[in-house]
Amino acid sequence: MSLTQTMILNYTSQVDQIGMKDFYKTLNCKICNKKGNIIFQKNYDDRDLTKFFETYYGLKKYKFFKNRLKNVCYSLIKCENCKFIWQKNSPKEKLSFDLYDKIIDKNESLIKSKKKFSLRKHKNKCEIDFVINQFQGNQINFLDFGAGWGHWLNSGENRKYYPYALEMSKYRQKYISKLGIDIIDYKNLGKYKNFFHFIRMDQVVEHVDEFRDIFILIKKLAKKDCIFYLSVPDGEDIIKDTSKIRIEKGAVQPLEHLNCFSRYSLLKALRLEGFKKISFFEILVMHIKNLFKGGVSVSLFLRDIKDCFYSTSIKFRIR
């Protein structure tokens, strides 16, 4: 460890010990459990961070949680072995709940979601039909894990599949219920063992501290041959060149994006839990099956090929 890294580690340790009431501390890599190196740090009352929070959340909302960040550092740690970056100090459940249910503007979030999915409604329907065409029978169970406002699940023809949602936000749960989507209670997950044909986690894992526990849970909820779609922001550029780290909305966004994955680190994390990526040959077979059942989507086919080799949006098959 260099002298600079030692000084940073000593400084952040002193600051963190003063005020960690609302935070967990993670020093070891969440994938391989080896110690990483601090690559970036600023106290949360640093002007760069306060300016970002005031702009992103609004001055009034920022004042709501400002004191809870007192004496805590925004520290990023990198594991060279896994090509993975994480925030050393991650919000505990209460702060996370307040952040997503009270601080983030719900109306603005809903409007943004409606606009996004109205533009993609046909593409979303093609994605849903594609999954349905991979299975036999009439009861095809879909789970959107971290469903947001539920607009993706609501994009298909409901008579062809049964949509279920897991969502932390109480406000979003109420909205999703009005769409006719079943909300799963976290306390009753046991009744859904080996239940789902398709599980989707889109832009969720970067927010979750103990993501390996989530992967274990996914395997319990999945039926044999379940398709699991996982997508996270691609942090490859930042991981390769840490000088590109900025205080902004993005792959290492303070408080929210606790994990920053490269394609390599994402695949490694899943492989350690026994997941196997769908191969190029399997993708071809799946799209031929879709074609024979009347489903045609050139854009989805091209996207699946790209995702198979290059991106951090990946399909797995749970055997």
Give the predicted TM-score (pTM) of the model: 0.90
How far apart CA 304 and CA 258 sit, in angstroms, is 27
pLDDT at 296: 82
Q: Do both 223 and 130 map to the same domain?
A: yes
6, 139: one domain: no
Residue 73, domain member (yes or no): yes
Query: For the segment 212-225, what is each residue's pLDDT rounded down to a tens digit?
Result: 999 999 999 999 99
Q: What is the pLDDT of residue 173?
A: 94
Q: Is residue 110 part of a domain?
A: no
Would strands 141-145 and 196-202 be described as parallel, antiparallel, or unpaired? parallel
Inside any domain, residue 214:
yes
Q: Is the confidence at residue 305, as pLDDT, over 90?
A: yes
Residues 98 and 176 in one domain: no
- Residues 250/196, Cβ–Cβ less than 8 Å: no
Residue 114 has pLDDT above 60, yes or no: yes
Q: What angle do CA 64, 232, 55 make, to 5 degrees?
A: 30
pLDDT digits (tens, 9 = 90+) for 143-175: 999 999 999 999 987 678 999 999 988 889 999
Question: What is the domain count for the chain?
Answer: 2
57 shares a domain with 196: no
For position 198, what pLDDT does the model report? 98
Give residue 137's pLDDT. Answer: 83
Distance CA 258, CA 26 (A): 10
Angle at 262 between CA 95 and CA 304, to 5 degrees: 105
Q: Residue 104 pLDDT more than 90?
A: no
Cα 211 to Cα 30, 201, 234, distances in angstroms: 8, 11, 16
Classify residue 293: in a domain, yes or no.
yes
Q: What's the rounded Cα separation, in Å, for the pair 239 and 236? A: 5
Query: Residue 195's pLDDT is what?
Result: 96
**Which residue range is the domain that position 286 belongs to?**
119-231+275-318
Question: 12 pLDDT band (50/70/90 cuts)?
Answer: very low
What local confidence, expressed as pLDDT, does residue 271 receive?
96
**Pair (266, 303) in one structural domain:** no
Please give the share of the chain, as a percent, with pLDDT higher than 90.
74
Please provide the DSSP assignment of 226-270 as one string: EEEEEE--B-HHHHH-GGG--SSSSTT-TTT--EEE-HHHHHHHH
The answer to whether position 112 is within a domain reads no
Q: Are strands 182-183 and 196-202 parallel, antiparallel or unpaired?
A: unpaired
Please indicate, yes or no, whether residues 168 and 309 belong to a single structural domain of this protein: yes
The residue-averaged pLDDT of 309-319 equals: 94
Q: Could you please report the per-residue DSSP string of 294-311?
A: T---HHHHHHHHHHHHT-
Question: Where is 93: in which H helix or E strand?
Answer: helix 93-98
Q: What is the mean pLDDT of the chain?
A: 90
114 belongs to a structural domain? no
Give the residue-averaged pLDDT of 98-117. Answer: 88
